[in-house]
Amino acid sequence: MNASPSPPSSPDSTDDEPPLSSREKHLYNLTPHLRIDQSPSLRPISTTTTTTHNNSNNNNNNNSTSRTSSPTTNTPSPPSSPTHAHQQQQYHSSSIPKAYRITRFSRYFIVFSILLSFISIFVMLDSFQHHQRDMDGCQDSFMQPIYIRQTGFDSEMTRFASKYALYLYREKDVDLSDQPTGVPVLFISGHAGSYKQVRSISAETAYAYYQHYTTHPEILKQGVRNLDFFTVDFHEEFSALHGQSLLEQAEYLNDAIDYILKLYPRTRKSRRYPDPTSVLIIGHSMGGVVARSMFLLSNYQPGSINTIITLSTPHILPPAPFDWKISKIYDDMHRFWMNGYAPATTSLESTTTTDTYWTSLKDVMLISIAGGTLDNIVCSDSANVGAFLPPSNGFTVFTTAIPNVWTGTDHLSIYSCKQLVRVLAKSMLDIVDTRRPSQTKPLNERMMVMKKAFLSGLEDRTQDLSLGRPNHSEISDRDLRPLKVGERLIIKNNNVGDDNNNPSIVRLSLLPRSKEITAFSVLTDQPIGNDGSRFSFVFCNMMDRVSSDTTRIICQSADEAAIPVPASTERDNYPFSGRTFSFASYRIEEMKEYQWFGVIDNFDFSTTGSTSSHSHSGGTLTQGGFLIAEPINDKEQNQQHIKKSMSTIAMEGVHVKVASHLFSTIHIPAIESPMLAYHLKVSRQSCSHMFAPFLRQSISTMYESKFYVNLANNEDETDVSLHGRAAFSSYASMQSMRMMDTKNVDQHRGLSLQVWMDPTCEEPLKIDLTIDWYGSAGRIGFRNGIMLLAYAFIMVMLVLAGQIYCYNKTGIFPHFGQGLSFCIRRTLPVIIPIVALCSIYQCTYQQGQGHYLNSAYNVLDDLNVLSVTWHDLLIGNSDPFFWWLPLVGLLMSLGVISFVWLVVEILLHFFASISSFLIGQRIHTWHWCNRDGETRNQKFQRRAITTMILFVLVATCIPYQFVFVVAFLVHIISCIRSLTRTWSAPSLQGYKRANRYYYIQSLLLLMMTLLPFNLPILVVWIRNLSVHWFVPFSSDHNIFAIAPFIIYVELLTGSRKMLPRTKGPWHWGTCVLIYGIVAYTFLYGIKYTHSIYFLSNHMIAWFLLLHVKDSHYGRMTYRYIADHLYPFRSKKHS
C-alpha cells in the first residue's frame, strides 16, 4: 500500500535537503535497500516500504522543482499518519548495524543501571541525612549587637566601596566606646554569609574580658586588652561558586586592614603601647579561603596578618569546582603556602621568591576548626591544613575533641555554639599582647596557648612536661603510704585502699618506679590544678629519716599534665553533659631522677566525715569522690595492635577482649578511610563500679577525637565514624612527615581506641566493631558526588562517539538508545578494565609510597608539589579497599543518563505534538515572526548580526555563561522543530531528517551535562545585579569560551545543518579528539571539573571546522564581505 503524498515543504527545507541528483534518484529507485550515500547493503523492511520510497521520491522531485523556482508560504503539515512516522523509525532501526541494535540484554542492562542508580542515590541521601550523625549538643548564645558602619572607608581607599561595607561590632551595655581602642580582629563570612555572624564570638569575648580579665591587674600588665571586632558585609555573595568574587573580597579585605590599622593612632588614648601593625583573622567557611588568598595579592602588606582561625573551611579542595578560577586560586594558594614554609622544612637553598614567601608566612599561625559529621555542606576532610602547614605554625582540630566542648557542630552553628565560642574567646584573649606592635605574643607562645585550649591533651606530648618548683617537706609515717611495685592506688569515699581493699586515711600515697613499669595513669572525678583542689600529683624522692616516725621528702608538682575528660556515670548519656573527670598519664622517662609518683590528698578530715569528697564543679564537699592510680606496661598489658586487613575487617569485623585495666589502647592501622562508618558494641559482665566504661576514638592525621560515655550496657550499639585524608591530597603531609619514620609508620596510622574502665571489677571488657554498610553509603556519596556529574558527561561523550562512528561508516545516525546499546556491548567492556587497572595501581602506588616517606618526601620533590602525581588522578582515592568506586560511578552515570534521555525524549515528543497541532491549526503564524520570504543571504545576514551582538554583549556586560544557557534553550526549540519536520517529511527526506534529529538530541544531552558548569556563575551575576553591582568580571567575558557554542547552535537552528560525514584523517581525528576528552575527563575531570566545559568547547570548534570543510559556508562568508562591506567603503570614500 502506497503512502499518501506529503504536503508541500516549507522554504526552510532548502538549506536542509538540497535537490537529489539524477544519479542519487536512479540508485535509490533501482536499489531500495541501498542508501543514497552508497552505504553497505541494508535489509529493507518490506515491499510496502519500498513502494512508499519510490512514491515519496517522485513527490520529492516535484517539490524540488517548486522550491528552486520561488519560495512558498505554505507551512509544513503534521505527519500524514502515525504509521508513516513509525515506518521511518522502523526502517532506521532495522538498517542499523547489529552492534547498535537494542537487544534484550541491552534493555535489561539499561533498566538495571537505572534502578541501581536511583536506589543508590536514595540510599545515599537517606543515609547521609539520618544515619551516622553526631549528636548536636551546642547551646545557644545571647547577645545585644550594635553594628557601626565605617563610613570613612570609602571609594578613595578601595574600589569596592559601593559593593561591600565595613562595620565595627559593639556589645550593648558592655562596650561603652564606639571607637576601636583594643586589638583589631577581622571576621570574614563565608559563602552567602552575613556580616552579623560575628555577633556570638564578639559578645562572648566582650563579656569574658570585662568580667574576668579586668579584675586581675597582673593580667592587664601583660598586655591583655579587649578585642575590636570588625566585620564585612559582602551582601551574602556566593564566594564558593566564583573565583573572581573571592579575589575581589580578598582585595577589599587587604584595603580594609590598611584602613583599620590607620584608625588606632587616632583612637587610642594611651601612648604607652605601640600602634598595631597586624590584625587577627577569623574566617567562616569560604571566609578562611579568602583569608589565605589575601597573601597572594599585590595590596597585601607583609606582617599585617599573623593569626588566622578558620571555622569549617575547605582548605584542600573547593566545594564546587565548576569555575576555573576557583581551582586556580586553590592551586596558587597551595603553592604559595608550601613554598612559604620551605625554609623551615627543607634544606634547599632559598630563592628570592621563597624568601618573599617566608617573610610573609614565618610568623603566621593558622588554626583550622572542623565541625565533623554534622557539617553537611563542607566535608571536614577538606579542613585539614597538614598538607601545607608545618606543626610549628598550626593544626586542624575537631569540635568533638576540644575540652569542655566535646560536641559536633553543623556548618552554621559552629560560629554560634556557646561552648566553642567560650573557648575561642578565651584563647584569643590569651594570645593578645599590646606591648608588641603585632598585638600578639610570639608564635611559639601562641601555639602553646592554642594547643592547651583546643587539643584534648591525650596526644603524645612533644614538649617536656612542665613541673612545679621543688618542695622540701617532712611527713609523718601515718600520713605517708608507699605502695608495692605494680600495686594500684584506690581512693573511694575519702578512704585510701589498695588491691586488697585495705582502707586507711593518708596524706601522701606513693607508687614506686620500676623497670617493668612504663607509665602511670590516674583518673579521678575531682578537679586537678585549681585552687582548693583535693588531689595533687607529684614526683617525689625520699631523702632521709628525720625521726623514727618522720621522713624528709622532695617533690615537684605534676598537675600540669592533668586534663579534663567527659564524666561517665549511669546518668551521663553524652560527653557534653557538663560533668567532667580528670585524667593524667605520665611516662617513666618524664619522671627523670624521681623514684616515686605521688598523690597528695588535701582533704580536711578533721572537719568532715569519711564519706565526703570534693564535687568537681563547685569546690564544695559532696558524696562519692574517687581516684584510681595504676602503673601500666603499655607494651604488654595495656595496648593491643590489631593486624587485620581492611578486607578481613569488612567480612569479620573486629572483636577484642580488653583486660581489666584503668586505661587501655587498641590500635587498628587498617581503619583509616573516612568513607566507612562502624557499629561499636561494648559489653561487660555486670559488677559494682565507681564509673561506667567510656571510650575515645582518635586518628593522628588530624586532631579528631570523640568520646563515648556510659558504655557496656550490653544492649545499645554506638555509631562510630572518622575523618581522614581528603581526596586528591598527597599521602604524606607536612605534619605527618614529622611524626612518622619508616620504623613506626603503622603506629601513627589508622584508628586508635582508648578505653577507661573501673579496674576494681575483674571482668574483661568486650569490644565488637563492625562496618555499618548503610551508614557508609551516605559518606561515600557525600565525598564522591562530583564523580557522578563528570562520569555522566563521559557517558554522553561515549555515546556520541559511537553514533558518529556509525554515521561516518554507514550514513545512519543511531538514536541515543542505540548508542547506549553500542557502548554497553562494545565500548564499556574495553573501558572498564582500563579504569579498574588504573584505580588499582593508584591505590597500591599511594600505599607503597607511605612506607618510604623520608626518602620520597625528604626534599619535597624539589618543591614541585603540584606536579602530575597519581593522587591527582581519577577520584583521588588511596584506599585499595575502594578501588571499585570508579566502576560503580560509571554504572550509576549510565543509569542516570539513560533516565535523562528517556525523559528528554518524552518531553520532546510531547512538545513536538503540541507544535504539530498548532501548525495544523495555523495558530502560530503571526505577521511579525513570519520569515518565509527571506532569501538565503538575508537569513545569513540576520544570523551574523545576532551573533555579533551576542559577542559584543559577552565582551562588555554579560557573562558567557548566560549566553550558554540561552543557547541551550534555543537548542531545545531546534530539537522540537527538527522532530516535527521529521514527522512531516516524505520517506526519503525523512531518513536524513531523522539523522539530524538524533544528532542534535545528543548535543542537547551534552549541553545538559554542561549546565552545572555555567549556572553557578549565572547565579552570581544575577546576585550582583540585585545589589546594583554592574562591573563585569574579567574572567567571565572571554568570547572564545562561548563562540563555538553560539555559532554552532545558530548554524543548527538557522540552516538546519547535519554533521558532515568524514573519512580518513578527518574521521580518525574526530575519534581521537572525543576519546581523548574522555580519557582526560577520567583522569582529571573530577579534580579539575571546570575543564570539562572547555574541552567540550574545543570539540564543538572541531565540529564547526568539519562544517566549513564540507560546505560552502566559507565561500558564503567571503561573498558576504565582498557584497556588503565593499559598497559601504565605497560610499564612505564618495
Q: Give 1056's contacts (C-beta < 8 A, 6+ positions apart).
A: 12, 13, 15, 16, 978, 981, 996
Can you give the pLDDT at residue 81?
A: 44
Q: Kindly state the average pLDDT of the residues 856-866.
A: 42
Q: Are residues 321 and 367 in the same domain?
A: yes
State pLDDT tens for residues 581-627: 999 999 888 888 889 999 998 876 655 544 333 334 333 334 458 99
- Inform me whether the pLDDT recorded for 558 exceeds 60: yes
Coil vs helix vs strand at 405: coil
pLDDT the model gives residue 844? 79
Which one is predicted more confidently, 467 or 1118?
A: 467
Q: Rounded to whole angstroms, what are the CA distances from 245 to 92, 257, 902, 1015?
A: 51, 18, 38, 15
Element (H, E) at 326: helix 324-340
pLDDT tens sequence across 199-211: 999 999 999 999 9
**441 shares a domain with 477:** no
Please tell me whether residues 219 and 302 are part of one structural domain.
yes
Dist. CA 544–CA 541, nearest whole Å = 10
Last residue of a domain, one of 741, 765, 781: 781
* pLDDT of 818 higher than 70: yes
Residue 498 and residue 400 share a domain:
no
Q: CA-CA distance, 154 to 689, in Å (whole number)?
A: 67
Q: Are 645 and 654 in contact (CB under 8 A)?
A: no
pLDDT digits (tens, 9 = 90+) for 158-171: 999 999 999 999 99
Last residue of a domain, one of 605, 632, 659: 632
- Does residue 804 lie within any of the structural domains? no
**873 band by pLDDT with thresholds 50, 70 and 90:** confident
Q: Rounded CA gap, 974 and 908, in Å?
A: 10
- Whether 26 and 162 map to the same domain: the answer is no
Residue 751: give the domain boundaries. Answer: 639-781
Q: Where are the alpha helices (DSSP H) in 957-1090?
A: 960-984, 987-1010, 1015-1026, 1043-1054, 1065-1084
Residue 366 · residue 301 · CB < 8 Å: no
Q: Closest by alpha carbon to 1044, among 1090, 995, 1091, 1105? A: 1105
| Model pTM score | 0.84
Residues 605 and 664 reside in one and the same domain: no
Q: Could you tell me if residue 849 is inside a domain?
A: no
Strands (E), 495-642: 495-497, 508-512, 519-524, 535-547, 550-557, 563-566, 580-587, 596-601, 613-614, 621-622, 626-632, 639-641
At how many degrees (to 10) do helices 960-984 and 82-94 cross? Answer: 110
179 shares a domain with 156: yes
Task: Quote the CA–CA distance of 951 and 796 in Å, as a whole number.
Answer: 28
**Residue 562, Cβ density class (10 Å: 0-12 exposed, 13-18 middle, ≥19 buried):** buried
pLDDT, residue 847, reads 58
Q: Indicate whether 304 and 434 sit together in one domain.
A: yes
Can you tell me the distance from the alpha carbon of 557 to that of 594, in angstroms, rounded to the nearest whole number?
Answer: 12
Q: Tell me whether residue 650 is in a domain.
A: yes
Domain endpoint, select from 755, 781, 807: 781
In this structure, what DSSP letter does residue 703 have?
B
- Cα(349)–Cα(694) distance, rounded to whole angstroms? 50
Q: Active-site residue numbers?
A: 285
CA distances from 380 to 178, 377, 681, 1123, 1128 (A): 38, 9, 26, 64, 64
Q: Which amino acid would we find at residue 1100?
A: I
**CATH number of the CATH domain containing 773:** 2.60.120.380
- As a whole number, mean pLDDT of residues 668-690 equals 90
Name the one residue in this structure whose C-alpha cell is 553560539.
1046
CA dist 441 and 428 (Å) reads 11
450 & 489 share domain: no
The reported pLDDT for the residue numbered 1114 is 60
Alpha carbons 1040 and 254: distance in angstroms, whole number: 33
First-to-final CA distance of the chain: 67
Number of helices and strands (H, E) in the chain?
Answer: 30, 31
CA nearest to 1100, candidates 1046, 1063, 1058, 1060? 1046
Instruction: Let me know if residue 788 belongs to a domain.
Output: no
The Cα 338–Cα 88 span in angstroms is: 63
Q: Which of 46-50, 86-90, 725-729, 1090-1094 has the lowest mean pLDDT?
A: 46-50
Judge whether 803 lies within some domain: no
- Quote the pLDDT of residue 1124: 67
CB atoms within 10 A of CB 685: 12
116 in any annotated domain = no
Q: How many domains does the chain have?
A: 4
Is 491 in a helix, a strand, or coil?
strand
Question: Does residue 106 lie in a domain region?
Answer: no
In this structure, what C-alpha cell is assigned to residue 188? 570574614
For residues 386 and 220, give the distance between their C-alpha atoms in angstroms, rounded to a whole number.
35
Rounded CA-CA distance 714/720 in Å is 17
The model's confidence at residue 67, banded by pLDDT at 50, 70 and 90, is very low
Q: How far apart are CA 57 and CA 77, in angstroms?
A: 18
Percent of the chain surpassing pLDDT 90 = 51
In-domain check, residue 135: no
- The pLDDT-based confidence of 752 (bands split at 50, 70, 90) is very high
What are the residues facing 519 on neighbouring strands?
A: 587, 632
Strand ranges, E, within 25-123? none
Q: Residue 412 carries which side chain, given as an amino acid letter?
A: L
Q: Angle, nearest 10°, between helix axes 418-430 and 199-208?
A: 60
Q: What angle do CA 932, 937, 941 make, to 5 degrees?
A: 95
* 173 and 220 fall within a common domain: yes
Beta bridge partners of 751: 668
1034 — alpha (psi -120 to 50), left (phi > 0) or beta? Answer: alpha
Candidate from 170-184, 703-717, 919-933, 1113-1127 with smallest mean pLDDT: 919-933
What residue spans of 31-81 are helical by DSSP H? Answer: 47-69
Instruction: Of 24-33, 149-158, 295-304, 1041-1050, give the lowest mean pLDDT range.
Output: 24-33
> Do 44 and 162 share a domain, yes or no?
no
Q: Are residues 941 and 1022 in the same domain?
A: yes
Is the pLDDT at 680 greater than 90? The verdict is yes
Residue 535 pLDDT > 70:
yes
Q: Which of the two residues, 922 and 749, has the higher pLDDT score?
A: 749
The pLDDT confidence band at residue 1028, using thresholds 50, 70 and 90, is confident
